[in-house]
Chains A and B, each alone.
Chain A
């Protein structure tokens, strides 16, 4: 009888230690040392937590530590690594773009940008005097041979395994070498305090959305890397009302239209429509493909007479 009780209490003790350790896995920023200390403490109020293996456990409240510094390093780490096994590509169908500029709005919303700052910009184009004008959205091309990352002296801008080129605000020293190196003018510099700086000031910096933005650093299109992690299409892609954007994984040879949600073969789409990339002669190997502005169902409503609008 006595034997059993002691056995029981031992089991209880083991269990409680086990749970604490389990909970430590869930609550990031919670050290094992802290857990050991907390076990010795008097039990106070308890809260329910879900462990990593799906168990609901009760944890003493004073064992919990607020999460401050850990997530930043965690975000930085996974932001640098990227999503394994993916190779993201974007296809922009110029024949459908009619300058609705919803992509730009969505992007500026997502990345804390003012209306005059662009990660993606819809440009008015005319290739030669007698050719037809058209609209062309231009994000960062996420080059496979990016000139921008080569010149960064502090390794602040980098390419990751899924093909996305990102910037680390925390490292960037604002030298703007990368702006000079990028042949697509894809990068912007935060000359002043960013929009809504006050509102975002307590937010932990998320490298995959480059938010909060920081004065004196660089920003550019990120393919909405934070949304991709949740299997969502980039902001611009899913906000276009005209079905201009396709986005997908080249390893799967499939891209999905953000408007119609139709999924098509990437290789076929490019082949059948004579898809091309911008400035291929530079050897930057862009990840953004364009389908030519053919057979358009609308009139060009831009303002080509105004030199300023022509890019």
Chain B
């Protein structure tokens, strides 16, 4: 059931043509019941080449062969989702208090949203919360965060596909990074192991890419919707895969993108793909391990996208309620 629906939702990236390019406008999403806001950047539709050329320095085989993708316009978060916002979702009490200070927001509709269990250890690992990217959430938790956003705002938000993520990261460029090929320039655009001092940083401190998105390279890696297959592009090239993304059917590995504060420059390249791994939950001593918290992935966060066309309620419901894989 989920597969059909997701193809429906996501195929709009390829088939939704009713919308002229450039008609989307960037906007700021207010978070009702709080003083928080989340900025969404309108991205134009267009064709792009996904993957990296064989000659790119640091390139891995899973980034090829390069292939053309047709993208429709969509919105993407200008910044990674921060703890400020994520904590409201994760801690119901915090949200209640925020709502009490901002009268007029109806908490009752939030009651049906599934929320994370309290983490046993501090998931920021002392790297800071206010203005800093939320980390260590599972892909399942990131999807449920989107469900929470929908319940609050009525706007359908979801995780980006790998294709959407790379399209947004490249922002019209074809070089290794959105600013060119020279890793020496990384310091202006990204937090990575060469300048992070061993911790993530507040979002948005570095220069944005050409489309105005910050921290697409570095700071924290970002969840996508896709199951990670090393040979996915090869299958696409052979025509064995028609869908624009790989739906998740098993727990590991899923695809994250963008590199982090803890990575070498090569991992931050626009085309670089990282598979999730069981070791990301290593420090969870419980059985079964949490569906909500990774515990050992202080380098993984996310940002959300909004497709131009809102899917049906049924499709949305299916998207927000994926079959719960054990230890997701």
Please indicate whether A and B come from the same complex rather than being unrelated chains.
no
Interface residues of A (CB under 8 A from B): none
Name B residues whose Cβ lies closer than 8 Å to a Cβ of A. none
